[in-house]
């Protein structure tokens, strides 16, 4: 599920249902993911928007973001993010 629709803004995806709900046991662990993208020559580098946005708390009002250097066009990048505040 893509969350943001415009071509001029970052794309974010929601996690599958199995990764939502109470994740209290994830604290202290790591979120690991890999990203790859291709772009036309005139589009330039990826943006420096947060790559990860985590919402939680009783009303989903706690937001944690992780800023990671922009992706390189045509290169697979792997990230490990500590699940702490």
What six digits make up the tokens of 78? Answer: 């792997």
Tens-place pLDDT, residues 34-66: 888 777 666 655 566 677 787 777 777 777 777
- Look at residue 15 and give its three-state secondary structure: coil
Task: Check residue 51 and report its DSSP letter.
Answer: S
pLDDT score of 53: 80
Tell the burial category of 81 from Cβ atoms under 10 Å away from its Cβ (0-12, 13-18, 19+). Answer: middle
Site of tokens 């109470």: 22
* Predicted model pTM: 0.61
What six digits make up the tokens of 35? Answer: 């990203």
Tens-place pLDDT, residues 70-85: 777 788 988 888 887 7
pLDDT score of 11 more than 80: no
Tell me the domain boundaries of the chain.
Answer: 17-82
- Look at residue 55 and give its three-state secondary structure: strand
């Amino acid at each position: 599920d893509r969350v943001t629709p415009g071509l001029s803004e970052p794309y974010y995806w929601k996690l599958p249902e199995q990764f939502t709900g109470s994740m209290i046991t994830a604290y202290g662990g790591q979120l690991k993911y890999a990203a790859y993208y291709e772009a036309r020559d005139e589009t330039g580098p990826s943006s420096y928007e947060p790559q990860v946005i985590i919402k939680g708390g009783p009303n989903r009002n706690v937001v944690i973001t992780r800023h990671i250097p922009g992706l390189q066009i045509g290169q697979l990048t792997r990230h490990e993010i500590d699940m702490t505040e």
